[in-house]
Structure 1
């Protein structure tokens, strides 16, 4: 298995250009076709017209967005040509929470960004990263809004608990692991992890090694006052890992999307790119 089709979500946020550069780098690395899906949040303009001054603001804002979109599209095509990467640009007026999973289902890997609370343009829909992970059916590589990692995958860290989601994440990340210098499988023990690790880390490490991956195993202890998500992020920093691989836990409860504790922590506080599968 490798990544032959990659979809990257693009918008008018400050992190769109770095996200595109990362996607291009991975498309070159894996000789993949790159699809850029441009989707943003567009509010209904009708309520704005009843507020003094807001109609003009809306028109000005939309013009600025259109200019940014045009510049990004030109950059996308120019970079494809420069890198000799095949690809296509798709711009949609559909909500990002529908459009990106829709196009991502016909890809091997989806690249998107963590929500950036400091950039309003990064908002493209409620719980966009969570919805994408849960609904796309494909692995999602999330890029932190505050990270200096530009080429992830030299040292891959796997957060392993023996679950179905973690198993899928491991297999989805094999192309990264084959190219990595080192992969470390980290299992969490302690009060939070007593009922996890149903399959030992050594077992999955053996499978990974049969794919030609240089793999090590590390067990860490987590006390009652530390979350598993924080422990994984701390361990990634200690190891110097530049890519975290883990399963994503969540379910729909009525109209609410409920994510697992470790998943919530990672999505909020990630410091390195994270490949998540559900």
Structure 2
């Protein structure tokens, strides 16, 4: 098993280039075809006529965006040649919340960015990462906007609780683990809600070991009521991990998106790239 088609979401934010660099490294590592899916948020121009001057601002802003898009497309093709990676640029006019999941369903892996409230250009839709993970049907590698990681996947940390979502994430991340120097399975308080093994994490560790993964198991006793997301972030730091693998818990309810507590914490405060599956 390997990643042979990777889709990376690109936009006009400054973090699009670092996200592209990570996707290029992965495409080269796995011998994958890389698709650059360019999609941004574009408000309805008619709505901007409500306030005086906004229509002219919109036109000026669109011109700037067009320039940035052209520069990013040139960079994308230049980086493909430099990395000796096959790929293609796809500019999509429909909203990114629809375009990226659609493009990603025919891929092995989607690379996208964490929400960054400090950068308006990174906004492509409300709850974009959450909706992408829940709707695309493929593993999503979310890159934190504050990340300075030079590598992704050499030291893998797996958040394991025996659930369907965690099982999906573990199997989706196998290509990373097979190439990793170290993989650590972490359970928090035995993850008793789902885990049924006598020793938490041992069954999934045995399965991975049969694939040839170098794996360790750690059960963290954090006390009743401890926020699992914060415990996982601490374990990422303590283990020097450069990739966190976890299931994404959530569902769409009438007019709102309901995410699990650990998922919300990681989406908000991730410090390394996170591979999420639902």
Task: Give TM class, smaller chain.
Answer: over 0.9
**TM-score after normalising by structure 1:** 0.97
Q: For residues 165-184 of structure 1, what are the structure 2 equivalents within 5 Å? A: 165-184=165-184
The aligned counterpart of 2:148 is 148
8 Å contact from structure 2 (residues 157, 244) kept in 1: yes
Rounded Cα–Cα distance in structure 2 between residues aligned with 1:71 and 1:198: 53
Q: Give the drift of 1:225.
A: 4.9
Aligned positions, number: 276
* Residue 46 of structure 2 corresponds to residue 25 of structure 1: no
**Residue number in structure 1 paired with 2:195:** 197
Task: Please say if 1:263 is aligned against 2:275.
Answer: no
Aligned-residue offset at 1:277? 0.4
Contact 1:41 1:96 (8 Å CA) reproduced: yes
The gaps in structure 1 that reach 5 residues or longer are none
Residue correspondence of structure 1 range 55-94 to structure 2 within 5 A: 55-94=55-94
**TM-score, length-scaled by structure 2:** 0.97
* Structure 2: distance between partners of 1:150 and 1:131: 27
RMSD (CA atoms): 1.1
**Shift, 1:262, TM fit:** 0.5
The question of whether the paired residues in 2 share the 8 Å contact of 1:115 and 1:123 is answered with: yes
Deviates more, 1:221-230 or 1:157-166: 221-230
Q: Does the 8 Å CA contact 2:97/2:128 hold for their aligned counterparts? A: yes
SS at match of 1:9: strand
1:232-255 Cα distance to aligned partner (Å, 9 max, x none): 010110010010000000111113
Instruction: Give the SS at the match of 1:245.
Output: strand
The alpha carbon displacement at 1:14 in A equals 1.2
Residues 163 and 198 in structure 1, CA contact (< 8 A), matched pair in contact too: no
Q: 2: CA distance between counterparts of 1:189 and 1:39?
A: 41
| Match in the other structure for 1:12 | 12
Give the CA deviation at 1:256. 1.6
Structure 2 distance, partners of 1:60, 1:168, is: 45
Distance 1:138 1:150 in 2: 24
Displacement of 1:164 in angstroms is 0.6
